[in-house]
Structure 1
Amino acid sequence: MTQFRKVLSVHTGQPASDGAGVRLTRVFGGQGVERFDPFLMLDEFGSENPDDYIAGFPPHPHRGFETVTYMLEGRMRHEDHLGNVGLLEGGGVQWMTAAKGIIHSEMPEQEEGVMRGFQLWLNLPGKHKLDKAGYRDIQPQDIPRLTTANGVEVVVIAGRFDDGQAQQIGAVERPDTEPHYFDLRLPAGASISPRLPEGHRALLYVYEGQIDLSGHPQPVASSKLVRLSDQGEIQLSSADGARVLLIAGKPLGEPIVQYGPFVMNSREEIEQALRDFRDDKLTA
Protein backbone atom coordinates (compact mmCIF):
# COMPACT_ATOMS: atom_id res chain seq x y z
CA MET A 1 0.00 0.00 0.00
CA THR A 2 1.35 3.40 -1.02
CA GLN A 3 2.28 5.65 1.86
CA PHE A 4 1.82 9.33 1.06
CA ARG A 5 3.47 12.19 2.85
CA LYS A 6 1.16 13.63 5.46
CA VAL A 7 0.00 17.22 5.49
CA LEU A 8 1.44 18.71 8.68
CA SER A 9 -0.01 22.18 8.25
CA VAL A 10 -1.55 24.57 5.73
CA HIS A 11 -0.52 28.22 5.74
CA THR A 12 -1.91 31.40 4.24
CA GLY A 13 0.56 34.17 3.43
CA GLN A 14 0.28 37.60 4.99
CA PRO A 15 0.54 41.02 3.32
CA ALA A 16 3.92 42.62 3.97
CA SER A 17 6.20 45.39 2.79
CA ASP A 18 9.95 45.23 2.31
CA GLY A 19 12.78 47.19 0.76
CA ALA A 20 11.71 50.76 0.07
CA GLY A 21 8.02 49.89 0.29
CA VAL A 22 7.58 47.00 -2.12
CA ARG A 23 4.26 45.29 -1.45
CA LEU A 24 4.40 41.52 -1.28
CA THR A 25 2.96 38.41 0.37
CA ARG A 26 5.09 36.72 3.02
CA VAL A 27 4.14 33.10 2.42
CA PHE A 28 6.19 32.04 5.46
CA GLY A 29 9.00 33.41 7.57
CA GLY A 30 9.66 34.80 11.03
CA GLN A 31 8.42 33.09 14.16
CA GLY A 32 8.52 29.29 14.07
CA VAL A 33 10.81 29.18 11.05
CA GLU A 34 12.46 26.01 12.44
CA ARG A 35 9.43 24.10 11.13
CA PHE A 36 10.58 24.89 7.57
CA ASP A 37 14.31 24.15 8.07
CA PRO A 38 16.43 24.55 5.90
CA PHE A 39 14.19 27.26 4.43
CA LEU A 40 13.85 30.60 6.18
CA MET A 41 11.35 32.60 4.16
CA LEU A 42 9.30 32.65 0.98
CA ASP A 43 7.97 35.90 -0.44
CA GLU A 44 5.64 36.25 -3.39
CA PHE A 45 5.47 39.55 -5.23
CA GLY A 46 3.09 40.36 -8.04
CA SER A 47 1.47 43.56 -9.21
CA GLU A 48 0.76 45.56 -12.35
CA ASN A 49 0.65 48.76 -10.29
CA PRO A 50 4.10 50.44 -10.41
CA ASP A 51 3.45 52.08 -7.03
CA ASP A 52 3.65 48.60 -5.49
CA TYR A 53 7.18 47.86 -6.72
CA ILE A 54 8.87 50.90 -8.29
CA ALA A 55 10.89 51.86 -5.17
CA GLY A 56 12.59 48.48 -5.24
CA PHE A 57 15.20 47.26 -2.79
CA PRO A 58 18.01 49.84 -2.42
CA PRO A 59 21.44 48.69 -1.10
CA HIS A 60 21.11 46.45 1.96
CA PRO A 61 23.22 43.74 3.67
CA HIS A 62 22.87 39.99 4.19
CA ARG A 63 24.88 37.39 6.09
CA GLY A 64 24.56 33.67 6.79
CA PHE A 65 22.21 32.32 4.08
CA GLU A 66 21.33 32.22 0.39
CA THR A 67 18.62 34.03 -1.56
CA VAL A 68 16.93 32.53 -4.61
CA THR A 69 14.88 34.95 -6.71
CA TYR A 70 12.68 33.40 -9.40
CA MET A 71 11.14 35.92 -11.76
CA LEU A 72 7.93 35.05 -13.61
CA GLU A 73 7.36 38.43 -15.24
CA GLY A 74 9.18 41.75 -15.21
CA ARG A 75 12.77 42.99 -15.05
CA MET A 76 14.93 43.53 -11.97
CA ARG A 77 18.55 44.72 -11.91
CA HIS A 78 21.01 43.38 -9.32
CA GLU A 79 24.18 45.20 -8.23
CA ASP A 80 26.46 44.33 -5.31
CA HIS A 81 29.69 45.33 -3.58
CA LEU A 82 31.58 42.60 -5.45
CA GLY A 83 30.97 44.42 -8.71
CA ASN A 84 28.36 41.99 -9.99
CA VAL A 85 25.64 43.46 -12.18
CA GLY A 86 22.85 41.29 -13.49
CA LEU A 87 19.47 41.67 -15.13
CA LEU A 88 16.80 39.26 -13.92
CA GLU A 89 14.01 38.78 -16.46
CA GLY A 90 10.90 36.62 -16.74
CA GLY A 91 11.80 32.95 -16.37
CA GLY A 92 15.23 33.69 -14.92
CA VAL A 93 16.75 32.99 -11.51
CA GLN A 94 19.22 34.84 -9.33
CA TRP A 95 21.07 32.63 -6.84
CA MET A 96 23.02 34.66 -4.29
CA THR A 97 25.12 33.21 -1.49
CA ALA A 98 25.47 35.93 1.12
CA ALA A 99 27.67 33.80 3.43
CA LYS A 100 30.07 36.15 5.29
CA GLY A 101 28.46 39.22 3.86
CA ILE A 102 27.13 40.92 0.79
CA ILE A 103 25.62 44.35 0.18
CA HIS A 104 23.38 44.46 -2.85
CA SER A 105 20.42 46.21 -4.44
CA GLU A 106 17.52 44.92 -6.50
CA MET A 107 15.82 47.63 -8.50
CA PRO A 108 13.02 47.41 -11.11
CA GLU A 109 14.05 48.00 -14.72
CA GLN A 110 10.52 48.98 -15.68
CA GLU A 111 8.10 51.77 -14.91
CA GLU A 112 4.93 49.96 -15.94
CA GLY A 113 3.61 46.47 -16.51
CA VAL A 114 3.54 43.36 -14.34
CA MET A 115 6.31 42.54 -11.87
CA ARG A 116 5.84 39.01 -10.57
CA GLY A 117 7.97 36.35 -8.90
CA PHE A 118 9.25 34.76 -5.70
CA GLN A 119 12.19 35.08 -3.35
CA LEU A 120 13.21 32.11 -1.23
CA TRP A 121 15.72 32.26 1.64
CA LEU A 122 17.80 29.11 2.10
CA ASN A 123 19.87 28.67 5.24
CA LEU A 124 23.58 27.88 5.24
CA PRO A 125 25.13 25.46 7.75
CA GLY A 126 27.19 27.06 10.48
CA LYS A 127 30.42 25.79 8.94
CA HIS A 128 29.77 27.84 5.78
CA LYS A 129 28.12 30.99 7.15
CA LEU A 130 31.39 32.93 6.99
CA ASP A 131 32.53 31.64 3.60
CA LYS A 132 33.15 33.96 0.69
CA ALA A 133 30.01 35.49 -0.83
CA GLY A 134 28.93 34.52 -4.34
CA TYR A 135 26.38 35.37 -7.00
CA ARG A 136 25.01 33.72 -10.11
CA ASP A 137 22.54 34.89 -12.74
CA ILE A 138 20.74 32.03 -14.50
CA GLN A 139 19.04 33.00 -17.73
CA PRO A 140 15.72 31.37 -18.72
CA GLN A 141 17.32 29.35 -21.52
CA ASP A 142 19.80 27.86 -19.02
CA ILE A 143 17.13 26.47 -16.69
CA PRO A 144 16.19 22.88 -17.64
CA ARG A 145 12.58 22.16 -18.50
CA LEU A 146 10.74 18.98 -19.33
CA THR A 147 7.21 17.79 -20.02
CA THR A 148 6.10 14.60 -18.31
CA ALA A 149 4.11 11.81 -19.94
CA ASN A 150 1.00 13.33 -18.30
CA GLY A 151 1.63 16.71 -19.92
CA VAL A 152 2.96 18.53 -16.84
CA GLU A 153 5.63 21.11 -17.62
CA VAL A 154 8.38 21.14 -15.01
CA VAL A 155 10.89 23.96 -14.56
CA VAL A 156 13.84 22.39 -12.72
CA ILE A 157 15.51 25.25 -10.88
CA ALA A 158 17.47 23.20 -8.34
CA GLY A 159 18.08 19.58 -7.43
CA ARG A 160 17.08 16.53 -9.45
CA PHE A 161 13.57 15.95 -10.78
CA ASP A 162 12.43 12.31 -11.03
CA ASP A 163 8.88 11.00 -11.43
CA GLY A 164 9.89 7.40 -12.20
CA GLN A 165 9.77 8.03 -15.95
CA ALA A 166 11.62 11.27 -16.61
CA GLN A 167 14.70 12.61 -14.86
CA GLN A 168 16.36 15.99 -15.08
CA ILE A 169 19.17 17.67 -13.15
CA GLY A 170 18.38 21.30 -12.33
CA ALA A 171 20.32 24.47 -12.96
CA VAL A 172 21.72 24.44 -9.40
CA GLU A 173 22.86 21.72 -7.01
CA ARG A 174 23.97 22.64 -3.50
CA PRO A 175 25.64 20.60 -0.75
CA ASP A 176 24.41 20.23 2.84
CA THR A 177 20.82 21.43 2.29
CA GLU A 178 20.44 19.59 -1.07
CA PRO A 179 17.57 21.84 -2.23
CA HIS A 180 14.98 20.78 -4.79
CA TYR A 181 13.04 23.63 -6.38
CA PHE A 182 10.51 22.91 -9.14
CA ASP A 183 7.82 24.99 -10.81
CA LEU A 184 5.06 22.56 -11.81
CA ARG A 185 2.56 23.65 -14.46
CA LEU A 186 -0.37 21.23 -14.54
CA PRO A 187 -2.89 21.39 -17.39
CA ALA A 188 -6.50 20.50 -16.64
CA GLY A 189 -6.88 16.87 -15.64
CA ALA A 190 -3.15 16.23 -15.23
CA SER A 191 -1.35 14.60 -12.32
CA ILE A 192 2.27 14.24 -11.23
CA SER A 193 4.18 12.14 -8.70
CA PRO A 194 7.60 13.72 -8.12
CA ARG A 195 10.03 11.66 -6.06
CA LEU A 196 11.96 13.27 -3.23
CA PRO A 197 14.70 11.92 -0.95
CA GLU A 198 13.43 10.47 2.30
CA GLY A 199 14.07 12.90 5.15
CA HIS A 200 13.78 15.99 2.98
CA ARG A 201 11.35 18.62 4.26
CA ALA A 202 8.81 19.33 1.52
CA LEU A 203 6.65 22.37 0.83
CA LEU A 204 4.00 22.93 -1.84
CA TYR A 205 2.85 26.44 -2.73
CA VAL A 206 -0.15 26.73 -5.05
CA TYR A 207 0.09 30.07 -6.81
CA GLU A 208 -2.52 29.50 -9.51
CA GLY A 209 -5.56 27.24 -9.58
CA GLN A 210 -6.32 24.43 -7.17
CA ILE A 211 -4.83 20.97 -6.56
CA ASP A 212 -5.86 17.68 -5.06
CA LEU A 213 -3.22 15.99 -2.93
CA SER A 214 -3.35 12.22 -2.39
CA GLY A 215 -3.83 11.35 1.26
CA HIS A 216 -5.37 14.74 2.00
CA PRO A 217 -9.19 14.95 1.99
CA GLN A 218 -9.54 18.58 0.97
CA PRO A 219 -8.44 20.45 -2.17
CA VAL A 220 -5.61 22.95 -1.74
CA ALA A 221 -6.59 26.36 -3.07
CA SER A 222 -4.49 29.08 -4.63
CA SER A 223 -2.26 31.09 -2.27
CA LYS A 224 -1.98 28.17 0.18
CA LEU A 225 1.28 26.64 1.38
CA VAL A 226 1.28 22.98 2.43
CA ARG A 227 3.98 21.63 4.75
CA LEU A 228 4.46 17.90 4.31
CA SER A 229 6.03 15.15 6.39
CA ASP A 230 9.50 13.94 5.44
CA GLN A 231 8.56 10.35 4.53
CA GLY A 232 6.43 8.86 1.76
CA GLU A 233 5.34 9.70 -1.75
CA ILE A 234 3.67 12.76 -3.26
CA GLN A 235 0.90 12.69 -5.83
CA LEU A 236 -0.93 15.82 -6.88
CA SER A 237 -3.46 16.56 -9.59
CA SER A 238 -5.63 19.40 -10.80
CA ALA A 239 -9.06 19.19 -12.41
CA ASP A 240 -8.90 22.66 -13.95
CA GLY A 241 -5.15 23.31 -14.15
CA ALA A 242 -2.72 24.79 -11.64
CA ARG A 243 0.76 26.14 -11.08
CA VAL A 244 2.64 24.95 -8.02
CA LEU A 245 6.06 25.45 -6.48
CA LEU A 246 7.55 22.29 -4.98
CA ILE A 247 10.38 23.13 -2.61
CA ALA A 248 12.27 20.51 -0.61
CA GLY A 249 15.53 20.36 1.30
CA LYS A 250 17.54 18.48 3.88
CA PRO A 251 17.06 20.03 7.34
CA LEU A 252 20.21 21.31 9.02
CA GLY A 253 18.92 20.81 12.56
CA GLU A 254 20.98 23.76 13.81
CA PRO A 255 19.89 26.72 15.97
CA ILE A 256 18.43 29.57 13.92
CA VAL A 257 18.91 33.09 15.22
CA GLN A 258 17.72 35.84 12.89
CA TYR A 259 17.87 39.59 13.11
CA GLY A 260 16.56 41.20 9.94
CA PRO A 261 18.95 40.35 7.07
CA PHE A 262 21.36 38.36 9.27
CA VAL A 263 20.82 34.65 10.04
CA MET A 264 23.31 32.92 12.32
CA ASN A 265 23.44 30.15 14.94
CA SER A 266 23.77 32.28 18.07
CA ARG A 267 22.95 35.69 19.48
CA GLU A 268 26.67 36.41 19.81
CA GLU A 269 27.15 35.86 16.07
CA ILE A 270 24.26 38.22 15.32
CA GLU A 271 25.81 40.89 17.53
CA GLN A 272 29.11 40.39 15.69
CA ALA A 273 27.33 40.82 12.34
CA LEU A 274 25.78 44.07 13.55
CA ARG A 275 29.19 45.33 14.71
CA ASP A 276 30.78 44.33 11.42
CA PHE A 277 28.09 46.13 9.45
CA ARG A 278 28.38 49.24 11.63
CA ASP A 279 32.19 49.23 11.24
CA ASP A 280 32.13 48.53 7.48
CA LYS A 281 33.66 45.08 8.05
CA LEU A 282 30.69 42.92 7.04
CA THR A 283 32.16 42.13 3.64
CA ALA A 284 35.85 42.36 4.54
Structure 2
Amino acid sequence: MFADLATADPGPTPLALRSALAHSKILKRRCPGPLPQDLHTVLTRLEAQVNDESVAPDDGTTLSATHPSPSGAPPSDLAAFAEARAEFAWLVKEIRAGQEAGDLAAVQTARHLAGPIYGRRLSPEDRATYTPLMREVKAWCQEQDPNTDPVLRRIRQVLAELGRAGNGLATEQLAAFLDEVSSLRRQLDRRLPVLEEVQVKRWKRQLKARTSSAPRRAAPRAADPVKAVHDPMATAPSPPDRLPIETIDKLAAIARDVLKDAARSGGSLLTWGDLRLRMAAGLPHLHPDER
Protein backbone atom coordinates (compact mmCIF):
# COMPACT_ATOMS: atom_id res chain seq x y z
CA MET A 1 0.00 0.00 0.00
CA PHE A 2 2.82 2.39 0.85
CA ALA A 3 4.49 1.53 -2.45
CA ASP A 4 1.28 2.40 -4.32
CA LEU A 5 1.17 5.79 -2.60
CA ALA A 6 4.81 6.47 -3.42
CA THR A 7 4.40 5.65 -7.11
CA ALA A 8 1.03 7.39 -7.63
CA ASP A 9 1.18 9.71 -10.65
CA PRO A 10 0.03 12.36 -10.10
CA GLY A 11 0.56 12.32 -6.35
CA PRO A 12 -2.12 10.89 -4.04
CA THR A 13 -5.09 13.09 -3.17
CA PRO A 14 -5.79 14.11 0.44
CA LEU A 15 -8.67 11.62 0.46
CA ALA A 16 -6.36 8.82 -0.68
CA LEU A 17 -3.87 9.73 2.03
CA ARG A 18 -6.53 9.72 4.76
CA SER A 19 -7.90 6.39 3.52
CA ALA A 20 -4.41 4.89 3.47
CA LEU A 21 -3.74 6.09 7.02
CA ALA A 22 -7.03 4.63 8.26
CA HIS A 23 -6.27 1.31 6.55
CA SER A 24 -2.75 1.27 7.97
CA LYS A 25 -3.92 1.77 11.55
CA ILE A 26 -6.54 -0.96 11.20
CA LEU A 27 -3.96 -3.42 9.90
CA LYS A 28 -1.36 -2.34 12.48
CA ARG A 29 -3.67 -3.32 15.33
CA ARG A 30 -3.97 -6.81 13.81
CA CYS A 31 -0.21 -7.35 13.63
CA PRO A 32 1.17 -9.73 16.29
CA GLY A 33 4.00 -7.38 17.26
CA PRO A 34 5.53 -3.96 16.56
CA LEU A 35 5.99 -2.84 12.97
CA PRO A 36 9.43 -3.12 11.39
CA GLN A 37 11.34 0.14 11.58
CA ASP A 38 10.98 0.96 7.89
CA LEU A 39 7.19 0.59 8.00
CA HIS A 40 7.00 2.52 11.27
CA THR A 41 8.95 5.39 9.71
CA VAL A 42 6.72 5.52 6.62
CA LEU A 43 3.56 5.35 8.74
CA THR A 44 4.78 8.20 10.97
CA ARG A 45 5.54 10.29 7.89
CA LEU A 46 2.11 9.52 6.41
CA GLU A 47 0.37 10.51 9.66
CA ALA A 48 2.21 13.83 9.71
CA GLN A 49 1.29 14.46 6.08
CA VAL A 50 -2.40 13.71 6.71
CA ASN A 51 -2.42 15.98 9.75
CA ASP A 52 -1.05 18.79 7.60
CA GLU A 53 -3.76 18.12 5.02
CA SER A 54 -6.38 18.16 7.77
CA VAL A 55 -5.34 21.66 8.80
CA ALA A 56 -5.48 23.09 5.30
CA PRO A 57 -6.94 20.76 2.66
CA ASP A 58 -7.16 21.70 -1.01
CA ASP A 59 -10.68 23.11 -0.79
CA GLY A 60 -9.73 25.53 1.98
CA THR A 61 -12.01 23.99 4.60
CA THR A 62 -11.23 21.90 7.65
CA LEU A 63 -12.31 18.32 8.07
CA SER A 64 -14.51 19.23 11.00
CA ALA A 65 -16.55 21.48 8.73
CA THR A 66 -17.97 18.46 6.95
CA HIS A 67 -18.40 16.45 10.14
CA PRO A 68 -19.80 18.49 13.05
CA SER A 69 -18.17 17.84 16.40
CA PRO A 70 -20.14 15.63 18.78
CA SER A 71 -22.21 17.71 21.14
CA GLY A 72 -20.71 18.05 24.59
CA ALA A 73 -17.52 16.14 23.72
CA PRO A 74 -14.34 17.42 25.41
CA PRO A 75 -11.63 18.69 23.04
CA SER A 76 -9.41 15.74 23.93
CA ASP A 77 -11.98 13.35 22.42
CA LEU A 78 -12.52 15.18 19.14
CA ALA A 79 -9.32 13.90 17.52
CA ALA A 80 -10.12 10.31 18.55
CA PHE A 81 -13.65 10.61 17.19
CA ALA A 82 -12.34 12.05 13.91
CA GLU A 83 -9.81 9.24 13.56
CA ALA A 84 -12.45 6.59 14.25
CA ARG A 85 -14.80 8.22 11.73
CA ALA A 86 -12.09 8.18 9.04
CA GLU A 87 -11.33 4.51 9.64
CA PHE A 88 -15.01 3.59 9.66
CA ALA A 89 -15.68 5.56 6.45
CA TRP A 90 -12.89 3.68 4.72
CA LEU A 91 -14.40 0.35 5.80
CA VAL A 92 -17.82 1.44 4.53
CA LYS A 93 -16.24 1.93 1.10
CA GLU A 94 -14.75 -1.56 1.31
CA ILE A 95 -18.15 -2.98 2.28
CA ARG A 96 -19.91 -1.26 -0.62
CA ALA A 97 -17.26 -2.40 -3.08
CA GLY A 98 -17.62 -5.97 -1.82
CA GLN A 99 -21.40 -5.82 -2.12
CA GLU A 100 -21.19 -4.54 -5.69
CA ALA A 101 -18.86 -7.42 -6.55
CA GLY A 102 -20.98 -9.95 -4.65
CA ASP A 103 -17.89 -10.81 -2.57
CA LEU A 104 -19.31 -12.13 0.71
CA ALA A 105 -15.88 -12.84 2.22
CA ALA A 106 -14.69 -9.27 1.61
CA VAL A 107 -17.85 -7.79 3.10
CA GLN A 108 -17.64 -10.04 6.16
CA THR A 109 -13.98 -9.12 6.69
CA ALA A 110 -14.68 -5.38 6.48
CA ARG A 111 -17.73 -5.78 8.72
CA HIS A 112 -15.64 -7.68 11.27
CA LEU A 113 -13.11 -4.83 11.34
CA ALA A 114 -15.85 -2.19 11.50
CA GLY A 115 -17.64 -3.76 14.48
CA PRO A 116 -15.20 -2.70 17.24
CA ILE A 117 -14.87 0.81 15.78
CA TYR A 118 -18.64 1.16 15.61
CA GLY A 119 -19.22 -0.23 19.10
CA ARG A 120 -16.41 1.40 21.05
CA ARG A 121 -14.76 4.29 19.23
CA LEU A 122 -17.35 6.23 17.20
CA SER A 123 -19.02 9.24 18.76
CA PRO A 124 -22.67 8.71 19.81
CA GLU A 125 -23.80 10.90 16.89
CA ASP A 126 -21.75 8.93 14.34
CA ARG A 127 -22.90 5.63 15.84
CA ALA A 128 -26.54 6.66 15.45
CA THR A 129 -25.84 7.70 11.84
CA TYR A 130 -24.26 4.35 10.94
CA THR A 131 -26.67 2.06 12.84
CA PRO A 132 -29.01 1.52 9.83
CA LEU A 133 -26.00 0.66 7.67
CA MET A 134 -24.71 -1.93 10.15
CA ARG A 135 -28.14 -3.57 10.28
CA GLU A 136 -28.39 -3.56 6.50
CA VAL A 137 -24.95 -5.14 6.06
CA LYS A 138 -25.76 -7.83 8.63
CA ALA A 139 -28.96 -8.71 6.75
CA TRP A 140 -27.06 -8.74 3.43
CA CYS A 141 -24.46 -11.15 4.78
CA GLN A 142 -27.17 -13.45 6.11
CA GLU A 143 -28.94 -13.45 2.75
CA GLN A 144 -25.72 -14.17 0.83
CA ASP A 145 -24.36 -16.90 3.13
CA PRO A 146 -24.44 -20.12 1.05
CA ASN A 147 -24.50 -22.21 4.23
CA THR A 148 -27.75 -20.67 5.43
CA ASP A 149 -30.81 -22.88 5.09
CA PRO A 150 -32.91 -21.45 2.21
CA VAL A 151 -36.02 -21.58 4.39
CA LEU A 152 -34.29 -19.70 7.20
CA ARG A 153 -32.95 -17.20 4.68
CA ARG A 154 -36.49 -16.55 3.46
CA ILE A 155 -37.74 -16.09 7.03
CA ARG A 156 -35.02 -13.50 7.60
CA GLN A 157 -36.02 -11.73 4.40
CA VAL A 158 -39.65 -11.57 5.53
CA LEU A 159 -38.63 -10.23 8.94
CA ALA A 160 -36.41 -7.66 7.25
CA GLU A 161 -39.38 -6.55 5.14
CA LEU A 162 -41.44 -6.19 8.32
CA GLY A 163 -38.70 -4.15 9.94
CA ARG A 164 -38.47 -1.77 6.98
CA ALA A 165 -42.23 -1.32 6.77
CA GLY A 166 -42.66 -0.89 10.54
CA ASN A 167 -46.01 0.37 11.74
CA GLY A 168 -46.96 1.47 8.24
CA LEU A 169 -48.27 -2.02 7.44
CA ALA A 170 -52.00 -2.61 7.43
CA THR A 171 -53.22 -5.27 9.84
CA GLU A 172 -54.09 -7.61 6.94
CA GLN A 173 -50.57 -7.24 5.53
CA LEU A 174 -48.96 -7.93 8.90
CA ALA A 175 -51.11 -11.05 9.29
CA ALA A 176 -50.12 -12.24 5.81
CA PHE A 177 -46.41 -11.85 6.57
CA LEU A 178 -46.76 -13.76 9.84
CA ASP A 179 -48.75 -16.50 8.10
CA GLU A 180 -45.89 -16.91 5.67
CA VAL A 181 -43.37 -17.09 8.52
CA SER A 182 -45.48 -19.74 10.26
CA SER A 183 -45.67 -21.78 7.07
CA LEU A 184 -41.90 -21.51 6.59
CA ARG A 185 -41.20 -22.50 10.18
CA ARG A 186 -42.99 -25.79 9.63
CA GLN A 187 -40.46 -26.51 6.86
CA LEU A 188 -37.41 -25.91 9.07
CA ASP A 189 -35.60 -28.99 10.32
CA ARG A 190 -34.44 -27.20 13.50
CA ARG A 191 -35.56 -24.58 15.95
CA LEU A 192 -35.73 -20.95 14.86
CA PRO A 193 -32.65 -19.02 16.07
CA VAL A 194 -33.19 -16.89 19.17
CA LEU A 195 -32.90 -13.54 17.40
CA GLU A 196 -35.53 -14.43 14.80
CA GLU A 197 -37.74 -16.02 17.46
CA VAL A 198 -37.75 -12.76 19.43
CA GLN A 199 -38.70 -10.78 16.32
CA VAL A 200 -41.54 -13.13 15.43
CA LYS A 201 -42.96 -12.95 18.97
CA ARG A 202 -42.78 -9.16 18.91
CA TRP A 203 -44.71 -8.94 15.63
CA LYS A 204 -47.26 -11.47 16.88
CA ARG A 205 -47.85 -9.35 19.98
CA GLN A 206 -48.40 -6.32 17.77
CA LEU A 207 -50.87 -8.21 15.59
CA LYS A 208 -52.74 -9.47 18.66
CA ALA A 209 -52.96 -5.93 20.03
CA ARG A 210 -54.38 -4.69 16.74
CA THR A 211 -56.95 -7.43 16.32
CA SER A 212 -58.08 -7.35 19.95
CA SER A 213 -58.79 -3.62 19.75
CA ALA A 214 -60.54 -3.78 16.37
CA PRO A 215 -63.92 -5.19 17.62
CA ARG A 216 -64.19 -2.50 20.31
CA ARG A 217 -63.67 0.22 17.74
CA ALA A 218 -66.21 -1.34 15.41
CA ALA A 219 -68.89 -1.96 18.07
CA PRO A 220 -70.55 1.49 18.01
CA ARG A 221 -70.96 1.37 14.23
CA ALA A 222 -72.37 -2.17 14.29
CA ALA A 223 -74.90 -1.16 16.95
CA ASP A 224 -76.70 1.11 14.49
CA PRO A 225 -78.95 -1.21 12.39
CA VAL A 226 -79.90 1.53 9.93
CA LYS A 227 -76.33 2.24 8.97
CA ALA A 228 -75.56 -1.44 8.87
CA VAL A 229 -78.29 -2.04 6.30
CA HIS A 230 -77.68 0.96 4.08
CA ASP A 231 -73.88 1.10 4.17
CA PRO A 232 -72.88 -0.01 0.64
CA MET A 233 -69.36 -0.88 1.78
CA ALA A 234 -70.68 -3.38 4.30
CA THR A 235 -71.98 -5.79 1.67
CA ALA A 236 -69.99 -4.83 -1.42
CA PRO A 237 -68.30 -7.99 -2.78
CA SER A 238 -64.67 -8.00 -3.87
CA PRO A 239 -64.16 -7.60 -7.63
CA PRO A 240 -64.18 -11.09 -9.15
CA ASP A 241 -61.00 -10.48 -11.17
CA ARG A 242 -58.87 -9.25 -8.25
CA LEU A 243 -56.57 -11.20 -5.98
CA PRO A 244 -56.81 -10.96 -2.16
CA ILE A 245 -54.46 -8.42 -0.62
CA GLU A 246 -52.70 -11.21 1.28
CA THR A 247 -51.79 -12.90 -2.02
CA ILE A 248 -50.60 -9.62 -3.51
CA ASP A 249 -48.35 -9.01 -0.50
CA LYS A 250 -46.75 -12.44 -0.78
CA LEU A 251 -46.18 -12.05 -4.52
CA ALA A 252 -44.67 -8.61 -3.93
CA ALA A 253 -42.21 -9.99 -1.38
CA ILE A 254 -40.98 -12.63 -3.86
CA ALA A 255 -40.83 -10.12 -6.72
CA ARG A 256 -38.78 -7.75 -4.54
CA ASP A 257 -36.13 -10.46 -4.08
CA VAL A 258 -35.99 -11.03 -7.85
CA LEU A 259 -35.58 -7.30 -8.47
CA LYS A 260 -32.82 -7.06 -5.83
CA ASP A 261 -30.93 -9.87 -7.57
CA ALA A 262 -31.36 -8.11 -10.92
CA ALA A 263 -30.07 -4.85 -9.43
CA ARG A 264 -26.99 -6.51 -7.97
CA SER A 265 -26.19 -8.16 -11.31
CA GLY A 266 -26.27 -4.92 -13.30
CA GLY A 267 -29.73 -3.47 -12.95
CA SER A 268 -31.14 -4.73 -16.26
CA LEU A 269 -34.73 -3.84 -17.07
CA LEU A 270 -37.24 -6.64 -16.44
CA THR A 271 -40.52 -7.01 -18.29
CA TRP A 272 -43.51 -8.64 -16.63
CA GLY A 273 -42.73 -11.74 -18.70
CA ASP A 274 -39.15 -11.78 -17.40
CA LEU A 275 -40.43 -11.41 -13.86
CA ARG A 276 -42.85 -14.30 -14.34
CA LEU A 277 -40.04 -16.55 -15.65
CA ARG A 278 -37.74 -15.68 -12.76
CA MET A 279 -40.50 -16.42 -10.28
CA ALA A 280 -40.75 -19.93 -11.78
CA ALA A 281 -44.19 -19.23 -13.26
CA GLY A 282 -45.43 -18.28 -9.79
CA LEU A 283 -46.76 -14.93 -10.96
CA PRO A 284 -50.39 -15.10 -12.14
CA HIS A 285 -52.17 -12.61 -14.36
CA LEU A 286 -52.54 -9.32 -12.51
CA HIS A 287 -55.02 -6.52 -12.91
CA PRO A 288 -53.28 -3.19 -13.80
CA ASP A 289 -54.10 -1.80 -10.36
CA GLU A 290 -52.48 -4.83 -8.76
CA ARG A 291 -49.38 -4.37 -10.88
What is the TM-score of this pair, normalised by structure 1? 0.20
Higher RCO (C-alpha 8 Å, min separation 6): 1
**Structure whose alpha-carbon radius of gyration is higher:** 2
Counting strand residues as a fraction of each chain, which structure ranks higher? Answer: 1
TM-score of the pair, normalised by structure 2: 0.20
Higher relative helix content? 2
